[in-house]
Amino acid sequence: METLVYSQCTTHGGGVLKSGGGGAVSVLGFPLQHLKPHTLPGSKKKQSFGAIKASLAKTEVALLRIGTRGSPLALAQAHETRNKLMASHPELAEEGAIEIVVIKTTGDKILSQPLADIGGKGLFTKEIDEALINGDIDIAVHSMKDVPTYLPEKTILPCNLKREDVRDAFISLSASSLAELPAGSVVGTASLRRKSQILHRYPSLKVEDNFRGNVQTRLRKLNEGVVQATLLALAGLRRLSMTENVTSTLSIDEMLPAVAQGAIGIACRSDDEKMASYLASLNHEETRLAVSCERAFLLTLDGSCRTPIAGYASKDEDGNCIFKGLVASPDGTRVLETSRKGSYHFEDMVSMGKDAGKELLSRAGPGFFDS
């Protein structure tokens, strides 16, 4: 397993990457011509998560090691976690107290094939989970929509940070919305959830479903004319301070989001009370409950990378939980939807998610996802 350790200098905002497994030091991400100036090469203004440079390892032993993927978005999420820990716990605000360990996952290594083809669960979490279990890191920061519905033995996920905007962003250089794209236009996405909903509403469009890579890579491909449009999670663009690239934002009714989209989850070992205590101080309970409802829905459907599934739980103005769920055939010819309303409490919300999943399973019937 190749790991890179990112030691953050908390007093100066800089950072260093050092190899933790013999691999070469690398920085991911490609700028676009139309990105903000601070994202372009040679810009003096730093990214929000600090400059990255090769350097010798620090000699101090970190009090807490954060495991993460190495994409710019994953690093931004790791730094958001680090900053919240520093703000809540003075001992973690000392220089060198927190290290960020970058771990390359299976999903990051295999970019030539659609996610559905390399299949399985945990494509973006498996190696990070292994590092956590083995004691190479103390906590693991994940995009919750990448986390399988089961957790590995000896780990718990007690913390969700406050959720970002769950909606999808439409990005195009030639049209202001999906509806304005001419027939035959190609939309790039690696998500079968997005693909099925696009084709269901706009069957005249084409979808390139192996549109892989981090946010910067996908925007570069769009800029080069590989596709005419793409959809990205608005949450990721916000965390990267790249919302200037958004052409328009799709409503929940237009594009139901992925289960747990916009939520960050933080795991630790089940026997590590100190880390569990740290994470408890960061947990946003409203987000955790919503994510639990959505994941109960996904678990009931036994969703995989080959199953277009969407689900979203939110709190209405009266404090109740509103859940919307969707399953679709991969080609988008059939879309089944359902909704639930109930109290905003853990047991009730998990039951709502499960019940909605059972309903759609029953309505879909055998062979639905094979069409």
Enumerate the active-site residues: 146
| H-run or E-run covering 160 | strand 155-160
The single residue listed with the structure tokens 């083995």 is: 134
- Spatial distance between the Cα atoms of 159 and 144, rounded to a whole number of angstroms: 11
Are the C-beta atoms of 346 and 353 separated by less than 8 Å?
no
Query: Which whole-number Å values give the CA distances from 184 to 221, 308, 370, in the listed order?
Result: 18, 22, 25
Helical H segments across 257-345, by residue range: 273-280, 285-301
Residue 81 exposure: Cα atoms within 13 Å on the Cβ side: 33
- Spatial distance between the Cα atoms of 286 and 271, rounded to a whole number of angstroms: 25
- Spatial distance between the Cα atoms of 260 and 291, rounded to a whole number of angstroms: 5
Burial of 195 from C-beta contacts in 10 A (0-12 / 13-18 / 19+) = buried
The helix/strand/coil state of 113 is: coil
DSSP letter string, 33-57? TTS-GGGSTT-SSPPTT--EEE-PP
Burial of 341 from C-beta contacts in 10 A (0-12 / 13-18 / 19+) = exposed
Q: Are strands 52-54 and 186-188 parallel, antiparallel or unpaired?
A: unpaired
What are the residues whose beta carbons fall under 8 Å from the beta carbon of 174, sequence distance 6 or more? 181, 228, 229
